[in-house]
Amino acid sequence: MITLSTVLRRYTSDVAIGPVDLEIPPGGITAMVGPNGAGKSTLLTMIGRLMGMDAGTITVGGLDVSNTPSKELAKKMSILRQENHFITRLTVRQLVGFGRYPHSQGRLTVDDERRISEAIDFLNLGDLETRYLDELSGGQRQRAYVAMVLAQDTEYVLLDEPLNNLDMQHSVQMMKHLKRAAVELGRTIVIVLHDINFAGHYADHICALKHGEIVAFGTPQEIMAPDTLSSIFNTPIDVIDGPRGLLACYY
């Protein structure tokens, strides 16, 4: 379980995220949705202890993120931020290998190498593993970063818009893979998604943010309603019962 209690981040006198109270249940996928600037990345990076809070407490699997040693937290939780991915002269395999750092401290064992290969295979990067990051397309690079996070092999996984730049095939593959990790391995996955239909289809819970506050939290069945969605996203949205479940139409 991830708990946030009265978590607040004040950027300027008129922009503040929170105070937020939230419980993200263990296991399954929780999707964070909401308009640009709602505070999704701010919340996720505070949970992932990449950004400090001005007030409040966050715990992840019982560990208080503000006073648990990074080394211990890194075995419990991994995070992929939305931006600031480092693009250096690293190959895909070397990058994914960084995901093992909390376990190996840089000396990769046979088991580490196996997990690196698994993560590379899961994201369909086998043919690209010796390529340098600056020789990849945006979507291929995005997959390499997700592979790095998965190789870290943590119970809690936080991903900020991992479907950015991905084509339909790879978006669907990634969501199916994350779903499997949640169901079969009991991972707790918190993912910021831009496309409400991906959230509706794959998430177990949807957490909607707007103006730095949580305005809705529930199952996809509960959130995928025309009034709820239209109000979250400030645009008229219809919901139709499609061949594969509820579908938001806003075009």
Q: Which residues make Cβ contacts (< 8 Å) with residue 187, sequence separation at least 6? A: 27, 154, 155, 156, 157, 181
Q: Kindly give the residue spans of alpha helices, DSSP state H, lying in the chain.
A: 40-47, 70-76, 92-98, 101-104, 110-122, 138-151, 168-185, 196-202, 220-223, 226-233
| Chain centre to alpha carbon of residue 145 | 12
Nearer to ligand ADP, 176 or 194 (CB): 194
The site partner of 187 among ligand ADP, Mg ion, none (C-beta below 5 to 8 Å per kind) is none
The site partner of 130 among ligand ADP, Mg ion, none (C-beta below 5 to 8 Å per kind) is none
In the complex, residue closest to Mg ion by CB: 41
Q: How many residues does the chain have?
A: 251
Nearer to ligand ADP, 41 or 140 (CB): 41
State which amino acid sits at residue 73: L
CB of 2 to Mg ion, least distance (A): 18
* Residue with tokens 């949640």, as numbered in its chain: 182
Find the part of the chain contacting Mg ion (CB under 5 A) among 32-40, 99-107, 113-121, 224-232. Answer: 32-40
Using rule CB under 5 A, residue 188 touches Mg ion: no
Query: Which tokens go with 117?
Result: 């290969």
CB of 26 to ligand ADP, least distance (A): 24
CB 21 within 8 A of CB 207: no
Nearest to 124 by CA among 66, 176, 189: 176
- List residues bridging with 191 in a β-sheet: 31, 159
Distance in angstroms (rounded) separating the CA atoms of residues 23 and 218? 11
CB of 114 to ligand ADP, least distance (A): 35
Residues 35-94, interacting with Mg ion (CB under 5 A): 40-41, 82
Site residues, ligand ADP (CB under 6 A): 11-12, 15, 17, 34, 36-42
CB of 41 to Mg ion, least distance (A): 3
CB of 220 to ligand ADP, least distance (A): 20
| Chain centre to alpha carbon of residue 127 | 25
CB of 202 to Mg ion, least distance (A): 19
The site partner of 37 among Mg ion, ligand ADP, none (C-beta below 5 to 8 Å per kind) is ligand ADP
The site partner of 13 among ligand ADP, Mg ion, none (C-beta below 5 to 8 Å per kind) is none
Q: Which residues contribute to the site for Mg ion (CB under 5 A)?
A: 40-41, 82
